[in-house]
Every structure is written in C-alpha cells, then in structure tokens.
Amino acid sequence: MIEYTTTPTGITADMLGGFFVGWPDPPSPPTHLRILQSSHFVVLAVDRQADRVVGFINAISDGIMAAYIPLLEVLPDYQGRGIGTELVKRMLDKCAELYVVDLTCDPGVQSFYARCGMQPSTGMMVRRYEYQAGRIEQAN
Ligand SMILES: CC(C)(COP(=O)(O)OP(=O)(O)OC[C@H]1O[C@@H](n2cnc3c(N)ncnc32)[C@H](O)[C@@H]1OP(=O)(O)O)[C@@H](O)C(=O)NCCC(=O)NCCS
C-alpha cells in the first residue's frame, strides 16, 4: 500500500536509501533529506509497511509565477505501478496556479511526461559534476 505525502516532516534519512540509481556521485541520504526539506513543494510515495520512501518528486519555486522540477525518481522495484505518474500529477496539482512549470529530461522520458499533460520544450543548462553530490553548506 503506497501512501502519498506532500511534506518531508517525519521522513528520516534512513527511509531514503536506494535513490539516484546510476549517478556517479549521488547525494547521500542525509543530503537527499535536506534537498526535500529545502524544496518549495515535494510529493513523496511512502511504503508504510517497509517504512521507506519509494518515490519522490520535488520543485523549487518563487511561489508566485514559476517552478522548476529538478528530480523525479521511483525505486526500481516499485517502477511500472503508476507511482511516477501519480507523483507528477500530484506535483502539477500543487503547481496549478503557477504560470511556468519547467523540467529538463532525456528525450526517452518525454512520452512519459507528455502523458502527464506536459509538452516538449527546448532549454539551456549548466552542469557542474564536481557538485553532483550536493554543495557542502558554508558555515555562515
Ligand atoms: C521515469 C520514472 C519516474 C517513471 O516511474 P514509474 O513509477 O515507473 O512510472 P509509471 O508506472 O507511472 O509509468 C507510466 C508509464 O510511463 C512509462 N515509462 C516509465 N518510465 C519511462 C521512461 N523512462 N521512458 C519512457 N516511458 C516510461 C511506463 O512504461 C508506463 O507506461 P504504460 O502505462 O504504457 O505501461 C521511473 O522510471 C524512474 O524513476 N526512472 C529513473 C529516474 C528518471 O529517469 N527520472 C526522470 C528524470 S527527468
């Protein structure tokens, strides 16, 4: 039984293992938790029986006009059950009154997002792979 929640309250780092599959330098679970806590919106899929987060999506936003969705992932063992679709739909609902909702993705995933009601676009980006695990917070 998968439960969906829109707050990271009550989520601990040890509920967040197994994500960032294939990333050379993934964020640690504690850093992942900080990312969720620092996001404007999150939707989490939680397997309460296993006491673990099995899927998540986050958005950073000005809360007025625009939101950007940096991350969406469902644990491999839980893929193909509609969880990813549900996470995107719930996030788009959270962003329903915003003019802009953007994300970047590989071409192969565009059909998945299109079925969630999104449309293709072009964009520009910078990636600094030395910071892929997350920037270490400065002391002040
Ligand atoms: C993309 C992802 C979140 C989808 O999650 P999911 O829970 O498996 O998705 P759903 O079960 O809701 O799948 C819905 C449909 O999308 C399709 N789909 C899933 N992943 C897809 C992908 N990478 N490319 C194209 N189609 C995909 C499924 O086949 C399914 O189609 P169907 O309904 O015709 O069977 C998941 O595959 C994942 O975590 N992938 C690795 C991380 C990733 O690529 N994230 C997106 C970054 S932009």
How many Å apart are CA 117 and CA 28, to the nearest integer? 32
Specify the pLDDT at position 135.
Answer: 84
- Is the pLDDT score of 18 beyond 90? yes
Candidate of 21, 54, 74 to mutate for ligand 1, largest count of ligand atoms within 8 Å of Cβ: 74
- The ligand 1 atom at the shortest distance from the C-alpha of residue 85 is 12
Atom of ligand 1 nearest to the CA of 108: 24
> What is the pLDDT, as a whole number, of residue 140?
43
Tokens of 116: 């969630």
CA torsion 112→116→117→119, rounded to 10°?
Answer: -30
What does the pLDDT average to over 29-38? 98
Average pLDDT over residues 85-93: 98
Cα–Cα nearest to 53, from 102, 17, 94, 106: 17
Residue 136, pLDDT > 90, answer no
Q: Which atom of ligand 1 lies nearest, measured to the CA of 73?
A: 39
Separation of CA 79 and ligand 1 centre (Å): 7
Query: Region 58-79: what's the mean pLDDT?
Result: 98
The rounded Cα 111 to chain-centroid distance in angstroms is 18
Q: Whose CA is nearest to atom 32 of ligand 1?
A: 80
pLDDT tens for 97-116 read: 999 999 999 999 999 999 99
Spatial CB neighbours of 70, under 8 Å, sequence gap ≥ 6: 58, 59, 60, 103
